């Protein structure tokens, strides 16, 4: 990725993600003020990866800046399951984050399954993931005070779409994307598929695109279904999806893939998470790195270009 540049002048509306993060941070502050003590997040570090350590320290810095307590818990990886079980039953532990990979194999999944869904800030517990796909939004019906946690990258994308008023707050909660058509390029289990499901559950018609083809995520005519269904769109490609989409979200990692921007309609909102590793969430500031080249503008914006430049958000 090129060095950050100033926002490009031109026909697109560019938004610094920092401005979105600032507002989210204010929301978090308001929530914190209602509590009688600081929430305490515990970060479990069980590998020797210096990058994981840096990320953990950065989490801690962000937590403290935002009024949370944070403790790094360095443990041997064979002890981690026990440590997580202890944390689950420890009232002093409000939230748990694990720095993956630990075993760097399928065994890591059992660690994800061990964290209590009531303390899982990453939204990786099976019940939370199932709730997300099933459009079950609360853990405590019918009281509905405790939200089912969403994974951070799809959630960051939703927060961005809310900020851009793509979510129409005039409509009822849970239906605020009704009438929007959204293309999501990427169908990974980490970002693309959960994001498509969330957007469709909020009322959008979603075209989920990857190398295997296009799938349509939708709650059906009049949002009659309580959750989205998925349909294979035989013969469809970006040629069909992009010209009818109000929003285009690209999450293809690496530099080799380019969105065919000439297919994007004027006025479309374009977001790109340039790597699967790219992360933003509702607690940590969303950092924006911007650059331009002939194909991309790495920034969040409303496309106003006659040249239909793709405009991207890099939140890491």
DSSP 120: B
> Which of 152, 241, 270, 311 does the annotation list as catalytic?
152
Residues within the interface to its own copies (CB under 8 A): 11, 13, 163-165, 168-172, 178-180, 203, 221-224, 246, 265-268, 302, 304-306
* Residue 57 Cβ vs its own copies, minimum distance, rounded to whole Å: 35
Say if CB 248 and CB 264 are below 8 A apart.
Answer: yes
Q: Nearest approach, Cβ of 301 to its own copies (angstroms)? A: 11
Q: Minimal distance in Å, beta carbon 263 to its own copies?
A: 15
Token readout for 154 is 């799809």
Strands 247-250 and 181-185: parallel
Cβ proximity to its own copies: between 187 and 308 the closer is: 308
C-beta of 234: minimal distance to its own copies in Å?
A: 22
Q: Which residues pair with 45 in a beta bridge?
A: 74
Pairwise CA distance, residues 84 & 68, whole Å: 20
Read off φ and ψ for residue 162, nearest 5 degrees: -65, -45
Distance of CA 185 to the CA centre of its chain: 14
- Tell me how far, at minimum, the Cβ of 163 lies from its own copies, in Å: 7
**Which two tokens mark 17?**
């993600």
Tell me if residue 157 is catalytic: no
User: Residue 118 in 3-state DSSP?
Assistant: coil
Q: Please state at what angle helix 17-33 crosses helix 152-163, rounded to 10 degrees.
A: 100
Q: Are 308 and 39 in contact (CB under 8 A)?
A: no
As measured in angstroms, the least distance from the Cβ of 136 to its own copies is 22
Strand ranges for 104-238 from DSSP E: 181-185, 205-210, 213-218, 229-232
Q: Give CA–CA dist 149/136, Å, rounded.
A: 11
Choice between 41 and 166, CB closer to its own copies: 166
User: Rounded to whole angstroms, what are the CA distances from 225 to 142, 216, 218, 222?
Assistant: 20, 14, 9, 8
Q: Which is nearer to its own copies, 43 or 203 (CB)?
A: 203
The total number of residues written for the chain in this structure: 316
Nearer residue to its own copies within complex by CB, 7 or 164: 164
| Residues recognised as catalytic | 152
């Amino acid at each position: 990725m090129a060095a950050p540049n100033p926002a490009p002048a031109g026909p697109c509306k560019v938004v610094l993600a920092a401005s979105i993060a600032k507002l989210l941070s204010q929301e978090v502050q308001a929530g914190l003020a209602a509590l009688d003590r600081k929430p305490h997040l515990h970060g479990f570090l069980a590998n020797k990866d210096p990058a994981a350590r840096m990320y953990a320290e950065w989490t801690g810095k962000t937590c403290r800046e935002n009024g949370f307590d944070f403790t790094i818990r360095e443990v041997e990886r064979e002890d981690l399951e026990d440590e997580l079980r202890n944390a689950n039953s420890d009232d002093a532990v409000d939230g748990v984050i694990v720095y993956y990979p630990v075993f760097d194999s399928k065994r890591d999944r059992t660690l994800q399954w061990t964290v209590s869904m009531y303390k899982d800030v990453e939204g990786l517990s099976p019940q939370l993931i199932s709730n997300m796909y099933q459009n079950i939004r609360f853990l405590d019906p019918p009281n509905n005070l405790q939200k089912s946690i969403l994974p951070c990258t799809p959630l960051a994308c939703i927060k961005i779409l809310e900020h851009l008023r793509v979510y129409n707050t005039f409509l009822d909660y849970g239906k605020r994307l009704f009438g929007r058509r959204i293309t999501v390029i990427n169908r990974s289990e980490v970002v693309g598929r959960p994001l498509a499901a969330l957007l469709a559950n909020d009322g959008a018609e979603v075209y989920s695109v990857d190398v295997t083809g296009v799938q349509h995520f939708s709650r059906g005519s009049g949002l009659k279904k309580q959750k989205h269904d998925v349909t294979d769109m035989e013969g469809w490609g970006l040629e069909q999806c992009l010209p009818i989409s109000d929003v285009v979200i690209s999450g293809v990692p690496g530099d080799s893939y380019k969105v065919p921007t000439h297919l994007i309609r004027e006025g479309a909102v374009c977001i790109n998470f340039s790597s699967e590793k790219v992360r933003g969430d509702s607690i940590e500031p969303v950092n924006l790195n911007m650059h331009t080249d002939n194909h991309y503008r790495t920034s969040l914006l409303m496309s106003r270009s006659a040249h239909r430049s793709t405009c991207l958000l890099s939140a890491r």
